[in-house]
Amino acid sequence: MTKAELRKLYTEKRASMSEAEYLHLNHLLCEYFFALIDLSFVRVLHSFVPIEKFREPNTWLIIDRIRREFPHIRLSLPRVQPQTGQLENIFFEGMHQLQANAWGILEPKQGVPTEPEKIDMVLVPLLAFDAHGNRVGYGKGFYDRFLPQCKPSCQRIGLTLFPEPVSIDDTNAFDQPLDKIVTPAGATVF
């Protein structure tokens, strides 16, 4: 299937989930993340903020636990630069720092910028993935432009509520593959 077809299919699958199923899958995803992802080398972790109306994986579960149990890890959240379409990263200080952007997504309104080359791990949103670590996102290319700015050792971790890989017919050289995908069924390493 093409990315557009997969995007439509998986957006519909997420929208059709019951609230109980969504909460359960997010709980499992969080548990597998902490059981299977090595955070010992991480000093700076970038996480996307979930778009709740699209039922994205609830990264707040991960963010809150990192803040409690891994205080040495600095968290960085993205902010979209509307003029350039680039992600700017801001160190996360607390909920007081966030406001909804034009798409209704919470992002830092102010704060200390995070240099991409300082980031050790990036949590990447996705709808579907293939057996090679390629992902289907929303098609805006934010992470495909951002990930090459990070250092080569930066771990690229995709988070999805769907454990099965798919076949993506239209991958291209612009696509940035991931190192691992964490799902409610475990993790896949590429």
**111 is known to lie in a ligand binding site:** no
Adjacent-strand bridge partners of 155:
121
The span from the CA of 123 to the CA of 181, in Å, is: 9
What residue ranges in the chain does DSSP mark as E strands?
A: 44-47, 74-81, 86-91, 98-100, 106-108, 121-125, 128-129, 135-136, 155-159, 180-183, 186-189
Residues in the chain, total: 190
**122 is known to lie in a ligand binding site:** no
**158 is known to lie in a ligand binding site:** no
**4 is known to lie in a ligand binding site:** yes
**69 is known to lie in a ligand binding site:** no
The span from the CA of 168 to the CA of 95, in Å, is: 37
The span from the CA of 7 to the CA of 128, in Å, is: 8
Spatial contact of 173 and 141, defined as CB atoms under 8 Å apart:
no
DSSP summary character for residue 176: -
**74 is known to lie in a ligand binding site:** no
**102 is known to lie in a ligand binding site:** no
**139 is known to lie in a ligand binding site:** yes
The helix-helix angle for 19-36 and 59-69 (nearest 10°) equals 40
**10 is known to lie in a ligand binding site:** no
**104 is known to lie in a ligand binding site:** no
**70 is known to lie in a ligand binding site:** no
**5 is known to lie in a ligand binding site:** yes
Binding residues for substrate are 49, 56
Binding residues for ATP are 3-7, 135-143
Binding residues are 3-7, 49, 56, 135-143
